[in-house]
Amino acid sequence: MFDRISWDDADQTIDDWQAGFERRAAQARELATRMEGMTASARSRDGLVEVTVGQSGEVTGLWLDDGI
């Protein structure tokens, strides 16, 4: 299976894999940092209710119009 691969080629392949793993890990850390403060809000069609959720889906804000 490995008869035609030189040790140098094998070392380079492993180095390439490691670089790829490190690049993906850095991208994951960057994404996690960007998502830390992320929130989303939605308002009902009639405008009487608005809810805001954090990155984990927890309710961080709830607004109810007096007309509710």
Give CA–CA dist 8/31, Å, rounded: 35
**Could you report the per-residue pLDDT of 37-49, keeping only the tens digit for each?**
899 999 999 999 9
Domain match, 44 and 66 both: yes
pLDDT score, position 5: 77
- Looking at residues 58-68, what average pLDDT do you find? 94
- Looking at residues 46-63, what average pLDDT do you find? 94
Residues 59 and 53: beta-carbon distance below 8 Å = yes
pLDDT score, position 2: 58
Looking at the predicted structure, is the pLDDT value of residue 59 above 60? yes
Number of structural domains in the chain: 2
Looking at the predicted structure, is the pLDDT value of residue 34 above 80? yes
In a domain, 2, yes or no: no
Give CA–CA dist 61/24, Å, rounded: 34
> Which structural domain range is residue 44 located in?
38-68
In a domain, 3, yes or no: no
